[in-house]
Amino acid sequence: MDAFSTSVITVALAEIGDKTQLLTLLLATRFNARGALITGIVLATLVNHGLSAWLGSYVGNLFAPNITNWLVALSFMLVGAWLLVPDKAEATTGRFDKLEAFGATFILFSVAELGDKTQVATVLLGAEYHQIMFVTVGTTVGMLVANVPVIFLGEQLLRQLPVKQLHRVAAALFIGLGFATLWR
């Protein structure tokens, strides 16, 4: 698979049941401004994941290719294991009640993504592919694939999704990416 497709699929799967998806649900119930919520998610993700993909690409160039392959492979496998640990929803939106939907979404998404699984995955994808634009756009599309339906369908969608099974699929995908990196 190419950088874009891999980025879309891995981040969309990793995002299912993630704290930022739960944050999307909370914001969608608080603000009736779907366009502003989507715009906030897009811009926060582009900034965060753009920097993350750049960092991954930069760090990936610091080491010899065989060392980078081992580091990236091991990291993909660790993210796969991390995906099996459920996220906890953090009630942080109360302090942002005075902001409009876009501002609250942009700030909360930017903060929630720091050190998050999808941010770590983006760093790894940047290190693996060295295609910052395709990784950034792909991970942003992946975030939208997972979060836009939540804005429109909300709780009923999250209740019906087999979150545990999707986490297992995402974990297997990341572990598989780790092995694929080693065999390259």
**pTM, rounded to two decimals:** 0.78
Q: Is the dihedral of CA 168, 179, 74, 50 positive or negative?
A: negative
Residues 91-110, mean pLDDT to the nearest whole number: 76
Distance of alpha carbon 69 from its chain centroid, rounded? 22
Residues 84-105, mean pLDDT to the nearest whole number: 68
**Residues 15-29 as b or e (16 or more Cβ within 10 Å = b):** bbbbbbbbbbbbbbe
For residue 8, the model assigns a pLDDT of: 98
160 falls in which pLDDT band (50, 70, 90)? confident
